[in-house]
A and B are shown apart, each in its own frame.
Chain A
Amino acid sequence: DIQMTQSPSSLSASVGDSVTITCRASQDIRNSLAWYQQIPGKAPKLLLYAASRLESGVPSRFSGSGSGTDYTLTISSLQPEDFATYYCQQYYNTPQAFGPGTRVDIK
C-alpha cells in the first residue's frame, strides 16, 4: 500500500501570508494526487487534481506542483476563509490513501 505523509501537521499564519504544505508518497504516484480543504463540520472540498490542475471555481491563489513522490500545495495571500485543514490524496492505486492533514490556523 502507498503511504502518504504531510508536513507540517499544523501551522499558524496571518491573512495575506503565503503558505506551503508538503505531501510525500511512499512511491512514485505519477502526479495522481488531489488536494482537499475541510472546514470543521463540513465535507471536504476538492481544490486541485492531477497535482496541479485547479478545480473549477477554486480561487487562483491555490496552486499545486510536484512530481514523483513529492508534492506541494501553496496558498498565496491567505484569506480568512482559507483557515481550514488540508489533505492530500493519492489515486494512483487502491487503497487511495489520504495524508494525515495539515491544519492552518490564524496567527
Chain B
Amino acid sequence: GEEVAQTPKHLVRGEGQKAKLYCAPIKGHSYVFWYQQVLKNEFKFLISFQNENVFDETGMPKERFSAKCLPNSPCSLEIQATKLEDSAVYFCASSYDRGQPQHFGDGTRLSIL
C-alpha cells in the first residue's frame, strides 16, 4: 500500500500479559523501523530491519521485547510479560532505501493496566 498501516490502533493489556503489534510497511520499502513514544514528545528507537533481517537492535530491551519481519506478512513487535512502563505509543516507519525519508504509521497506543 501507499501508507504504513499499523494495527491495532489501541491495545489494552493487564500487567504481565503479552502484547503483539503489527505493521505493514509501504510496498517496495526495504527498511522498517520501530519507535516508542513514552512521553508525549519523546521518541525512542527500538529496532530496524532490512527486509526480513534485523539491521539494528540497539534500542531493544532484550528480555521481553522481540520483533520480526517475515516475507509476505506484516512485521510484528511482541512484548512478553508487559509492565506498566511499557504503556506508550509504538510507531512503525518504513523507507525505500537508506538515505531516504522514513514514513510513519499512525501508531498503536498500548495501555498496560
Please determine whether chains A and B interact with each other in the same assembly.
Answer: no
Q: Which residues of B approach A to under 8 Å, CB–CB?
A: none
Binding site for B on A (CB under 8 A): none
